[in-house]
């Protein structure tokens, strides 16, 4: 009959695989948020540059239609910035959820490791007791034979 610690190994392996998958998903979510934040930084820099160009062109003189085009485009950039900020918040929530799942799975793996360790300790103690009992029985047989 298989020992309890050995029977637990497949369950531990499944739990460890799930934990690793969750860790990978958490890592991907983190990278996604970083990429979104980089894109936001780029959008903000582009908006600032475009606004500076607008001011320069305005100081040099520009027509009403050209001024509306600049303002419309700046408005679209502002919308893109707002959208990107929304995407970042969603990405952060997704990351937090993946982190929560990973923590849960990680705690299960730790609990299983602790249980497997306890089983192995019990099995060792039982084996030592059995060995001691057999040694004692041999010693008693030998002492009976000598008498």
Least confident range from 11-20, 57-66, 75-84: namely 57-66
Name the band, by pLDDT with cuts 50, 70 and 90, for residue 138: confident
Mean pLDDT of 74-102: 97
**Per the structure, how many domains does the chain have?**
1
User: What's the rounded mean pLDDT across residues 134-141?
Assistant: 86
Q: What is the pLDDT of residue 140?
A: 85
CATH code of residue 115: 1.10.287.1700
Q: What is the pLDDT of residue 2?
A: 74
The 3-class secondary structure across 35-81, one letter per residue, is HHHHHHHHHHHHHHHHHHHHHHHHHHCCCHHHHHHHHHHHHHHHHHH
Average pLDDT, integer, range 125-134 = 92
* Domain that residue 54 falls in: 4-146
């Amino acid at each position: 009959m298989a020992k309890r610690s050995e029977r637990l190994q497949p369950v531990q392996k499944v739990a460890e695989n799930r934990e690793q998958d969750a860790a990978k998903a958490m890592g991907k979510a983190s990278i996604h948020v970083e990429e979104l934040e980089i894109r936001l930084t780029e959008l903000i820099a582009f908006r600032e540059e475009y606004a500076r160009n607008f001011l320069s062109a305005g100081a040099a003189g520009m027509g009403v239609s050209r001024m509306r085009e600049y303002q419309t485009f700046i408005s679209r950039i502002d919308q893109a910035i707002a959208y990107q900020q929304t995407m970042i918040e969603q990405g952060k929530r997704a990351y937090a959820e993946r982190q929560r799942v990973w923590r849960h799975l990680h705690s299960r793996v730790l609990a299983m490791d602790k249980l497997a360790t306890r089983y192995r300790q019990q099995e060792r103690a039982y084996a030592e007791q059995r060995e001691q009992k057999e040694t004692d029985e041999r010693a008693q047989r030998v002492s009976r034979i000598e008498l």
